[in-house]
Amino acid sequence: MAALIVNSYEQVRLVVEQIHAVNPELGRRTRGVLREIPSDRTRVRYVLRGQVEGLGPDPEVDVLVFPLAALGRGMNVVFTAEDEDKGRAAIGSVFFLTRPHPAAGDLGLMLSLLAQETEHLDAEDLSALDLAEVQQVFDQRRYAVFRKITRLLARPMSASQLDAVTRRAFAANLLVAVLQTIGRAIRNRMPVEVYFVDAAWAPNSAMGRPETDRSSVLVTMRDVLTSALSAEDQDQRDIHWALYGVFAEAFAEIEGLIPPAEGGGAEEEDFSPSPAGLEDAMDGWEPGDSEAVDVSMAREEQEEEVEW
């Protein structure tokens, strides 16, 4: 079975109806996953999320179309016949027709950044500081995180426009959903072919040029996997290899992806908008209250102009 991955239920209907229009025979063997089944004559072309697991052994279905977030862990499209294939994945190829992107209003990336900064602060040893100094450190970090989130929300959620740290978090979040989707096709060690169809995955490669560190989210996802497998802690490395080793090897060999040239990555842009009244939202705390605040941050505050 081939799985076609899109970004929304609306796109599911678009793809299913287009397949049926250009190839009616294949259309009859295609099922799309929707939140609600249509009431018109096209209803036979769709299934609900809870019905997907019944499609694995169905000989009448060759193509399954669903949004990236619809089938994650716990959803198994497998063969059920009493033979050697029982329990094996029924999906043999996965096509990501569009590069997934967070929906408008999605706060997943923001929450990931907040969680990451919280973990970093929790891991620090502040036992040598008195309570006033601890409060000062907390205020500094809170202000810095507030600025980071403000920068994130002040611009379109475009991977190519994010700073390096935020872009890695963006890619890591996307990677989780991608790997879970691929996981539907490798159950019981079955092989699978994965295709990243949309040129947005690697726009430079689509034009025959090397990618940069900024241009392709596939490159960033590959770097995230490489970093995980290179963790300093041996236990972490072992866990990461057990969980992600097979994926890291596959991402390192994506056909058609032209990696960045040595030393040819894009320079990071200096983007740091600061909406009016930023400090007013910090419960009266001003960065100038602490001598330990980074000087460059204070200088940046003086030089920035609000352009919107």
pLDDT digit string, tens, across residues 242-252: 999 999 999 99
Tens-digit pLDDT string for the chain (308 aa): 999 999 999 999 999 999 999 999 999 999 999 999 999 999 999 999 888 888 888 889 999 999 988 876 667 888 877 777 777 888 999 999 998 766 656 677 778 778 888 888 888 889 998 999 999 888 888 888 888 777 777 665 666 667 777 788 888 888 988 998 898 888 888 899 999 999 999 999 999 999 987 889 999 999 999 999 998 889 999 999 999 999 999 999 999 999 998 655 444 444 344 444 444 444 444 444 444 434 333 334 433 333 33
Q: What is the pLDDT of residues 142-175, one digit of tens each?
A: 888 888 777 777 665 666 667 777 788 888 888 9
CB atoms within 10 A of CB 76: 18
Tell me if residue 64 falls in helix, strand or coil.
Answer: strand
Angle at 96 between CA 218 and CA 222, to 5 degrees: 20
Determine the topology of domain 1-103+181-201 in CATH. Rossmann fold (3.40.50)
Stretch (H or E) spanning 4: strand 2-6
How far apart (Å, rounded) are the C-alpha atoms in residues 59 and 261?
A: 46
How far apart (Å, rounded) are the C-alpha atoms in residues 106 and 274?
A: 21
Q: What is the pLDDT of residues 99-126, one digit of tens each?
A: 876 665 667 777 877 888 888 888 888 9
How far apart (Å, rounded) are the C-alpha atoms in residues 5 and 233?
A: 36
Domain boundaries, the chain: 1-103+181-201, 108-156+272-303
